[in-house]
Amino acid sequence: MKRARQLVLKSIKPILNRLGARYIFLSEEWEMYVTWHVMIPPYDWARIYLRHRYNQTAPTYAFEISSVQEQAEPQAIEVPDWV
């Protein structure tokens, strides 16, 4: 993946509410969809979906941080069908 400074934040009308948000970050080769849930542990999770742009129609990698406040390590998860 290109360096972080080459990532461009592109919002698709980010959905912001009291409980969470969603953003898409783009580089020349990758698309990273980030969503998080703002609550008290253990309901303060974050999920990350990665898709190689231009030759994939859906993400091929998915990760979850089960509790941000508790500093849980990211774990690989199955890509849900809805993504």
Cα separation, 26 vs 6, whole angstroms: 8
* Rounded average pLDDT over 63-73: 88
pLDDT tens digits, one per residue of 3-21: 443 344 444 344 444 567 8
pLDDT tens digits, one per residue of 20-53: 788 888 988 999 999 888 777 778 889 999 999 9
- Measured CA to CA in angstroms, residue 76 lies from 48, 63, 83 at distances of 9, 4, 15
Cα separation, 32 vs 49, whole angstroms: 6
Cα separation, 49 vs 56, whole angstroms: 13
